[in-house]
Amino acid sequence: MTSNYTFIYDGECPFCNHFAELLEIKSKLNNLKILDGRKNLTLIKSLLDKGYDLDKGAILLKDEDIFHGADAINTICKQINNPSSSLLLLLSRVFKSNKRTNLIFPLLVRARRFALIAKGISISLV
């Protein structure tokens, strides 16, 4: 049985946006839905009520399971095989490793915050 995935990201973050775009267009994952959290505030609020804060990282829904932050990136990258983008291939190889993902992810969260501040956009979604 094939799992269904929903990847939720911050559409105002240039890094998140580019990664989500690569996932959607180049990953060759047919069972993947991509959602901009800023356009789905009701869903974001319900996830926040469960302890999943999009400000602290992307959220991945896999059937009934919820992955957050580094776990979300690591889990979705493990699903990517033979993407049609060299950048996505590199990212998926880097982030397939739990250790590398946990090491690099906090830097990505900081980069997102700096990018949003530079753009004059609120860091918090709700």
Task: Encode the chain in three state secondary structure.
Answer: CCCCEEEEECCCCHHHHHHHHHHHHHCCCCCEEEEEHHHCHHHHHHHHHCCCCHHHCCEEEECCEEEECHHHHHHHHCCCCCCCCHHHHHHHHHHCCHHHHHHHHHHHHHHHHHHHHHHCCCCCCC
- pLDDT tens, residue by residue, 59-116: 999 999 999 999 999 999 999 999 999 999 999 999 999 999 999 999 999 999 999 9
The span from the CA of 81 to the CA of 14, in Å, is 24
Q: Does the pLDDT value for residue 2 go beyond 90? A: no
Note the pTM of the prediction, 2 decimals: 0.93
- Chain centroid to Cα 18, Å, comes to 10
